[in-house]
Amino acid sequence: MADVAVLIQRVRSELGDLSSPFQDTYLGADELSTYDLSETGVNAVTAKVTTVAPPTSTVLVPDVDYVLDPSQGRIVLINAAYAPLRHGQTLIVRGVAEGVFTDADLETYIGDAVAQHAYGRSVTTRYRDARGHIRYDHEPVGLENLPVVEEPLVAFLAAINCLWTLATDAATDIDISTAEGTFVPRTQRYRQLMQHIGDATTGLQGRYNALAQQLNVGLGRIEMFTARRVSRTTNRLVPVFVAREYDDSTRPRRLLPPIDGQEYDDESGLPSPAYPGLWG
């Protein structure tokens, strides 16, 4: 079973977006109740107020003594005893800065990566039921049963999706050139991100594709399909069923492959000289 926390750490390592602890100290001046932290995207925050005379230390309670905006990195004191922070009081805030992407963001990217990487795959388990019949259980591939060897591939794919988000943000940057001869190549960030993402054979995308091809997994894996036959008698598609093992006693499972060519539908409304269910 793949651990989401381990995958998040893998993705952070690939992006170089590691979390780091921080500590901010603010001295009271009977003026402010809102303070901007030194970091944004914070979690695991603890806040306390200390005084010198008399020497005390009070741990603040979230949503009672203060309100925290994790994404913006801002703390607002709401308790009248500390809002505003008075002379002689010191606010100490400790926490962890998650980096550019929060853990919740990376969990979403990992979920998308698993859905893309394991699309159309299932794990087949053979067992004997209470009546002694041999049965087969088909469980879709997900985080719960993802093979260990494929965990780095999911991390690569999630990192690629994260880099595309950063590239979209950098795509609006333009180069700056002044009359004094100063030139700031802001579009270089976008080019570097696209080079790191790469294509089918280079960059992080090429790295994922090479390993996925060796394991024959992912959206580009080689698949086997059953060609559908049309009955010459009724001109209807012959039913196709899932291939089963020799000792599989479960009922046949019908397949419904997509039918292309709907753009050729006759929209004239003229009836066809055919008898439904027989031919035509």
Q: What is the DSSP string of 112-162?
A: HHHHHHTTT-EEEEEEE-TTS-EEEEEEE--TTT--GGGHHHHHHHHHHHH
The two counts, helices (H) then strands (E), for the chain are 5, 13
Per-residue model confidence as pLDDT tens digits over 65-92: 999 998 889 999 999 989 899 999 999 9
Q: Would you say residue 162 has pLDDT above 60?
A: yes
**Cα separation, 251 vs 187, whole angstroms:** 60
Percent with pLDDT over 70 in the chain: 95
Last residue of a domain, one of 44, 79, 97: 97
Partners of 49 in beta bridges = 58, 91
Same domain, 168 and 73: no
- The candidate with the shortest Cα–Cα distance to 167, out of 188, 204, 193, 186, is 193
Same domain, 92 and 124: no
Could you list the residue range(s) of the whole structural domain that residue 156 is in? Answer: 103-215
* Amino acid type, 27: L
The stretch 45-71 carries a mean pLDDT of 92
Same domain, 90 and 107: no
Same domain, 154 and 209: yes
Cβ-based neighbours of 74, under 8 Å, separated by 6 or more: 34, 35, 36, 37, 68
Per-residue model confidence as pLDDT tens digits over 121-130: 988 888 888 8
Provide long-range contacts, Cβ within 8 A and 24+ apart, for 166-175. 166/100, 166/193, 167/193, 167/194, 167/197
Question: 131 vs 24, which has greater pLDDT?
Answer: 24
Number of domains in the chain: 2
Partners of 91 in beta bridges = 26, 49
Last residue of a domain, one of 97, 125, 144: 97
Token duo for residue 273: 């000289």
Partners of 96 in beta bridges = 21, 43
Same domain, 88 and 121: no
The answer to the question of residue 220 being in a domain is: no
Query: Out of 135-139, 157-161, 193-197, 198-202, which region has the weakest mean confidence (pLDDT)?
Result: 135-139
CA dihedral of 269, 271, 274, 276, whole degrees rounded to 10? 70
Same domain, 122 and 64: no
Last residue of a domain, one of 215, 239, 267: 215
